[in-house]
């Protein structure tokens, strides 16, 4: 018995909406990356793009844990000598709040042509409005982390 490899015509793509309001950035990024890669489908194949489209709304209201708002640094390079630019997460949130989510998801995808194809199916919006109503996206809920009690029995 041979392993079934899905053909391009067999792959059904859905649209999902993830609301990032008051959610931890890492949890939103993991949920989005799993949907983009297709890991929730029984036909998941690591070397094929079987994933779905993902819309992340309220990216400006995503939560960073600990002191990451001040201490986390995003780097980019201008292409010129000595052109490394560093920006704190708080400044990135003010200037381009969607970049926080995009960078987190991009880091969780493969660093190949396949990963770049998956990343193109991600749409991130700072507010709660998006322009993909015609695709009839399904709302994907993310469970909030439970607070650990400090009491010991």
pLDDT digits (tens, 9 = 90+) for 23-72: 999 999 999 999 999 999 999 999 999 999 999 999 999 999 999 999 99
Banded model confidence at residue 19, pLDDT cuts 50, 70, 90? very high
d(CA 68, CA 71): 5
**CATH code given to domain 13-64+97-140:** 3.90.1180.10
Supply the pTM of this predicted model: 0.89
**63: which strand partners?**
24
Residue tagged 């199916």 (tokens): 121
Task: Identify the CA nearest to 37 among candidates 66, 13, 64.
Answer: 13
pLDDT for res 50:
94
User: How many CB atoms are located within 10 Å of the residue 135 CB?
Assistant: 15
Task: Identify the CA nearest to 124 among candidates 15, 17, 51.
Answer: 17
pLDDT for res 1:
79
- What is the residue extent of each domain of the chain? 13-64+97-140
pLDDT digits (tens, 9 = 90+) for 112-138: 999 999 999 999 999 999 999 999 999
pLDDT digits (tens, 9 = 90+) for 134-149: 999 999 999 876 666 5
Main-chain dihedrals φ then ψ at residue 36, nearest 5 degrees: -65, -35
Task: Identify the CA nearest to 11 among candidates 31, 41, 35.
Answer: 41
């Amino acid at each position: 018995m041979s392993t079934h490899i899905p053909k391009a015509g067999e792959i059904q793509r859905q649209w999902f909406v993830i609301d990032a309001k008051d959610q931890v950035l890492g949890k939103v990024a993991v949920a989005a990356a799993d949907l983009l890669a297709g890991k929730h489908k029984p036909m998941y194949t690591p070397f094929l793009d079987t994933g779905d489209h993902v819309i992340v709304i309220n990216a400006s209201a995503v939560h960073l844990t600990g002191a990451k708002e001040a201490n986390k640094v995003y780097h980019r390079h201008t292409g010129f000598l000595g052109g490394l630019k560093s920006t704190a997460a708080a400044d990135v949130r003010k200037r381009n709040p969607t970049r926080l989510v995009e960078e987190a998801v991009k880091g969780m995808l493969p660093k190949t042509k396949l990963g770049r194809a998956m990343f193109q199916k991600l749409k991130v919006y700072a507010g709660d409005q998006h322009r993909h109503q015609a695709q009839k996206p399904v709302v994907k809920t993310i469970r909030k982390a439970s607070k650990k009690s400090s009491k010991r029995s």
